[in-house]
Amino acid sequence: MKFFMVVIICMGFNCEAIYDQNAFDDKATCDAASHTTRSYMMETFPDSSGEIHCLEQSDFDLYMEFLENGGKPSINQPEQSLNKLEA
């Protein structure tokens, strides 16, 4: 199973989703890489807030569809956004 890292970073009320099309072979590898990414983002953007998620291929595809259809990234909600798409 492949996993994709999605970084959601917010500056004030403006949030952006950053992702890489390169997949991780398993969740553990993605989670390990997310710790390095988290440290980098916190140092580079200290006044921001955000989240990092490792999504399975199907969830990643749904999230990309959500964004392509005008959905706006927000923290604490990527899975909720995915659930709205599936309803």
At 27-54, the pLDDT tens digits run 999 999 999 999 999 999 999 999 999 9
What CA–CA distance (Å, rounded) separates 65 from 79?
13
pLDDT of 80: 47
What predicted TM-score, i.e. pTM, was given to this entire model? 0.81
- Which region holds residue 9: left if phi is over 0, alpha if psi is between -120 and 50, else beta? beta
- Token readout for 27 is 């969740």
The pLDDT tens digits of the residues spanning 47-69 come to 999 999 999 999 999 999 999 99
Per-residue pLDDT at 81: 44
Q: How many domains is the chain built from?
A: 1
- Using CA atoms, how far apart are residues 27 and 83, in angstroms rounded to an integer? 20
* Domain encompassing residue 65: 3-86
